[in-house]
Structure 1
């Protein structure tokens, strides 16, 4: 992992490298120019050394001629060797511009050395006249060498005049190069430093912004930082903390919602039980009375009246059951037929009931008093208001993983707004004149949702003026953990 410390050390290393590289480049060019200048100066010094050595040799020779001693002879020989050494160095200075002159110059040195040698030899042979003649020749040659030295120096000055000017210009350009390199490296360093600072400050700014959002209660903002250092690790940890807090809040909200729904369902259950209790006015007396009336009507030959009373008794007994106990769809269909029989007795030909029931689907469990309130609602709103009556169609079919129940009427229909209110349980569709069982439409929806643990258990399709279809989708297998109604 690239730590912030490593980044800072890397920046320091880069700065030091650029500074050292700049110093080496400037030092290299400066040293190169200095070496060139030293080479030229060395050429001048070597030429001047030849002239000085020749003059010194003539002086030592003169001293020896004046007073021939071994020490002065030694000095003369030492000066001669010095001149020969200078000659060897001068030979290395040959180039195209001074080739001819330098060749003559070297020959003069050889002639001076020869004259010196002859003068010393003649003096040793006591031939003073010849020795003086060679000394005079040596003196003349020394003057020629001095003049030739000046000539060579002039030639060198002419040869390297352009070089001097170029060296001066090069020095100026080198200064400019140094300034430009300094400016370039400064710009690059500023640019790199800006990028480097952003790599540190930008994640911190994002982390600060995320913390500000969290302080405002916005826990759904994802924190994403593309880095590989301590700040990235801190951001990932901070994001995990945000997710945990968000999950905890969601869990608390879910629990609060479940508690609210549970309390609401308890209230619905209490309301249903209260309505059931209100309708249970001495039920045994009512059952016995209806049974007695049914038997009396049968004995008196009123078979239809006897059947009607029997259906009413069965319907009353079923309606007085506890609503929190599930029944089979078979039982619901059976009591629905009793209810239809009673209503047909009431409406005669005005009520037309059609059923398409798949008997294999009647084994599923369903909350008590689910189908009848929906059929009753259709009778009240689709049959009773119409003088010519209408048709109610009841279908039960296999829908794969679900049992599909459809209740369709030819009434006046329901508006979309009213359907929305029904599904949200804002009010129930029921009459207020005592015709209903007291189990509201919204009550049925809520009990089905609670029983199956699903919100899409019922759908209402309606066109105003053309009728309404209520569709129930009952799962063949209930989800685990749902509450009983």
Structure 2
């Protein structure tokens, strides 16, 4: 446990003990007063209940004498039993001041019960007059019991008057004591809180000033904190950081310089490799050769072969010269048609290519060699593996502020994992059964994102068993964007 935690726990324990002590004291005192009050109230209630029950005895006896039914007899017996039960409680009310009065009171209750029993006996023996006399005597005793009950209650009030006043005085003193205790506890807590906050805020102020100076580039201010808790340790670590920050900045600058030089070296290497490859291929010789073979085939009457060679030459010229340039959608559609003519010659009736193109959209610009890799991917994955071939749909739709290009096939679909890799630009080369797609779909995604300036330019829907659909959205009026400018931005 840290020092700051110990201080906080100590404060919490002190406050808890104080509050617990006050709560227990108040609880015990309130319980004591409550018990006294309940005892006094119990005395009054019992006396008043005896008075009421004695009257009920007389009333029930009179009803029984007038109408001797079992119900009236049970009512008289129940009232008499209630008086007997309450006599036991009255025995506990005796004290030095009311002992004589309570003895007389109990005797009166006994007399009432005796007279009532006698009236019931006379009535059962058909001594009506004697029963009436007993009723009159019981009425007199009940009246006397009522008067004596009021007298006892008045006596109890006088006896406990001092107790009531003492309870009121103690309550007032307890309220005053509670106020003083609250003020004292509040003062002590404020004092301790102020001291505790200073122990934390002062070191924090020093660290804040030091951080402000470091943000301005000053590393010559020493940080010292005189305490024995975690703030001192934090200050020492901050001081250690200050002394090493210059070395860290220099190391970062050196690494950044090395990284920059490494990137430049990689770019030079790729450029040299590309130039070397282009020089080896010698495109002009290849174009001239294909054109010569095409004309010869035409002269010999092989018009389909001639057209096929022309399409190959045009496609090869476009692939080598326009990869790093911005082209119109019309140019991309033309080279796509050349590519599909070559593939139709290969697959014949197995390949069906359907187009829906709105001519008003052909003027928009997009990176060169964008559509062919997507269609080529559809040919390789959707048409070639199937014995029955397949169908590829190519659509250009005017959406008002943008142009939507859709390339859809009826193949087996594309797995979610592969879509994820393509959209994260993790796949740079796609192939199946040894057939390469040339420019990978991840490369197309990267170039479209650089060209448009936002990530959601291409979406792929590859539900298994339902084919694959690639959708490209290009806003109208988008100017040409060079790949190297986008990369530097």
After TM superposition, the score normalised by the length of structure 1 is 0.47
Highest RCO, 1 vs 2 (Cα 8 Å, sep ≥ 6):
1
User: Looking at CA atoms only, which structure, 1 or 2, has the larger radius of gyration?
Assistant: 1
